Chains A and B, each alone.
Chain A
Amino acid sequence: MSDNFTHNEKLLKIFAGIRCLNKDQLPRYLEGRLTDIEKHLVEQHLVDCDLCYEALQSLQKEGQMEQYQTLSAGIQQYIRDSIKPVSQLQKMERYIRKSKKRESLLIYFWVVAFIAGGGAGLYLMQEYNRNKPVMARPAALPIVPAAAMSTTPPPDSARHQEASLADKSEIPVAAAPRKDTVKAAPPAPQKPAADSIVVTRAAPTPPAPKTEDSVKKPATAANTPKEEKEKDTPATTVAKTQAPPPATPPPAKPATSTAMDTDEFLYKAAMVYQQQGDLNEAISRYKRLTSNTGRVGELARYQLGICYREKKQNGRARRMFKEVVRMDGSMKQAAQQALDNL
């Protein structure tokens, strides 16, 4: 069975691909120096290959072998000579091309890296400008000067407060760069909120120690957790960082300005949040002040309106501005203008 299979397998020999005769085989075949297997393989190849068969026929004739040897060596040398220099040149060219490619890739990389870096830088700058805390640009929002706030009376009597707020209708409200607020705010000397807070915070206490104590004590007794919480607010931190040296006290401050009302403090803290762009926090803080019917309440409502308007909640903003108009305070005109612009 296996013998039959081997016999059959020999059939595939008919179409086995056999290489042409090489330089050694050619003379050896002519001289009959090949083994039986080798000779049979050569003859199998000769059946198909006209080139080898003609070469053998040509060499079988007398006197050809010598010429063949010389010419064969000559043509091989010729091929090697003609290929070698070209090959060397090719290698050089390839090397140069490779190095150029590497260089150009490096250049592309740096160009791309530079563009990407530049783009990222620009993007970051834009993002920074967009989310920049308004502290850096104090006139971004309508700001009530701290002097006005600090002059509010201590919360011992509502009557006093109202009276002082009524007086403060003369006190200018800081002009804001926004269209409506600029129009709304009466012309006044501007003072950044931060500075005003600082001034009030950094104001030396010695001139009115008694009043401050008397004011602060009940406040601390009543609102200790609140104050503690608010101590950590950005307003205080900003105030601390920007506080001028205590050696230069503000000129001639009234004694009432040193006393810090809780509502005022809340209002200022809310202002700082608003300036930093944290509108939700600012709104929640302003809302706490809406119960106040005095000047602070009016200002808080006005700022609430602005916050809502910034949040595109125009209905709420309109309601707030209307309330301010209804209160008929110093912000009436500004609120009316804001309402018109809505």
Chain B
Amino acid sequence: MYQQLRNLSDKELISRARKLKDREAEGVLLERYSHLLVAVCLPSFRNNPGTNPQTLFPSLLQRLSNSLKTQTIQKANEWIHQTIKSYFANPEKQVPYYPSRDARDQLHTENRVEKAATNTIEKQALIAQVQKALSGLSTEDRFLVEQFYLENQTFTGLAAQKGYTTEKVRQLLKKAKSRLAMQLTNQTYVR
């Protein structure tokens, strides 16, 4: 059963944990992200030496578990990241997870792409829309997107080419992608 659960997607695990109150599914989901949780929390141990991992992780996991039962989760990684951030900002207060407008646009476009994977006509239409949206981006954004996604350039390669840091390249790419998703969503609504 455990192995079968491990093969399920995040969405399915969340659904099982919520609807069937399946603790095993919840465990598999949290275990899937546990290493990232630990890695993200590591700087806090160094910054606050008094922080005890024996109390921090159980309380964080408990908060995630509670949140899983009550909130609508579109993307598990975003949900976990936001929960960790809010926990460190204010450990007493439980801030509900709510995806931003950018995240929602992106999710919407991702879903469309996933749906069009087996439909050639839909795929062609979507490609045309992406091209149109891409032409609406600024020259730099378009250059970065094309180099990264079409020419398979790496962060370091692009950073070296443009003279930016990798962090900056990532930020620029993220913003360009977000704008692209927003334009695609707007196109859909206009259509």
Q: Which residues of A contact B (CB under 8 A)?
A: 7-17, 20-23, 26, 36, 39-40, 43-44, 46-56, 58-59, 61, 64, 67-68, 71-72, 74-76, 78-80, 82-83, 86-87, 90
Number of chain B residues close to chain A: CB under 8 A: 55
Shortest beta-carbon distance, A37 to chain B, in Å?
A: 8
Question: Do the beta carbons of B26 and A83 come within 8 Å of each other?
Answer: yes
User: Do B109 and A15 have beta carbons less than 8 Å apart?
Assistant: yes
CB-based contact A47/B177 at 8 Å:
yes
- Residues in chain B within 8 A of chain A (CB atoms): 23-24, 26-27, 30-43, 45, 53, 57-58, 61, 76-78, 80-81, 84, 106, 109-110, 112-114, 116, 123, 126-127, 130-131, 134, 145, 148-150, 152, 154-155, 170, 173-174, 177, 180-181
Q: Are B106 and A68 in contact (CB under 8 A)?
A: no
Please measure, in the bound complex, the distance between the C-alpha atom of A82 and the C-alpha atom of B62, giving whole angstroms: 11
B154 adjacent to A40 (CB under 8 Å):
yes
Q: Which chain B residues lie closer than 8 Å to A46 at the CB level?
A: 155, 170
Minimum CB–CB distance for A222 against chain B, Å: 91
Question: Which single residue of chain A is at the shortest CB-CB distance from B113?
Answer: A15
Give min CB distance, A105 to chain B, whole Å: 22
The verdict on A55 contacting B40 (CB below 8 Å), with A16-B113, A72-B34 known, is yes
Q: Are B174 and A64 in contact (CB under 8 A)?
A: no
Would A52 and B36 count as touching, CB distance under 8 A?
Answer: yes
Alpha-carbon gap, A86 to B22, bound state (A) = 10
Judge whether B127 and A15 touch: CB under 8 Å: no
Asked, given contacts A14-B145, A58-B43, A83-B27, whether A23 binds B35 with beta carbons under 8 Å apart, the answer is: yes
Asked whether A10 and B150 contact (CB < 8 A) given A51-B33, A72-B34, the answer is: yes
Tell me, rounded to whole Å, the shortest Cβ–Cβ distance linking B105 to chain A: 10
**Is the pair A12, B110 in contact by a Cβ cutoff of 8 Å?**
no
* Interface of chain B: mostly helix, strand, loop or mixed: helix
- B106 to A48, Cβ gap below 8 A? yes
Task: Give complex CA distance A54, B40 in Å.
Answer: 6
Given contacts A53-B170, A78-B57, contact A86 B36 (CB under 8 A): no
Ordered nearest first, which 7 A-B pairs have the shortest CB separation? A83-B27, A55-B39, A51-B81, A15-B113, A11-B130, A51-B77, A55-B36
Measured between beta carbons, the chain B residues less than 8 angstroms from A82 are 27, 61
| Pair A68/B39 contact, Cβ less than 8 Å | yes
A22 to chain B, nearest CB (A): 8
Q: Which of B42, B80, B134, B177 contacts A58 (CB 8 A)?
A: B42
Q: Are A59's CB and B127's CB within 8 A?
A: no
Give the docked Cα–Cα distance between A58 and B41 (Å): 8
Would you call B38 and A48 a contact (CB within 8 A)? no
- The reply to whether B42 and A67 contact each other, CB–CB distance below 8 Å, is yes
Question: In whole Å, how far is A49's beta carbon from the nearest beta carbon of chain B?
Answer: 5
Do A51 and B78 touch (CB < 8 A)? yes
Take A39-B154, A71-B38, A90-B23 as given contacts and tell me if A48 and B130 are in contact as well, using a CB distance cutoff of 8 Å: no
Bound state CA distance, A15 and B30, in angstroms? Answer: 25
Least Cβ–Cβ distance between A248 and chain B, in angstroms: 83
Docked pose: A46 CA to B31 CA in angstroms:
20
Given A46-B170, A83-B23: A72 in contact with B77 (beta carbons within 8 A): no
Chain A nearest CB from B38 CB (Å) reads 5
The docked-state distance in angstroms from the alpha carbon of A58 to that of B47 is: 12
For this complex, 12 residue pairs linking A to B, each with C-beta atoms less than 8 Å apart, are A15-B109, A26-B39, A36-B152, A48-B174, A50-B77, A50-B81, A54-B81, A79-B34, A79-B61, A80-B31, A83-B23, A90-B23
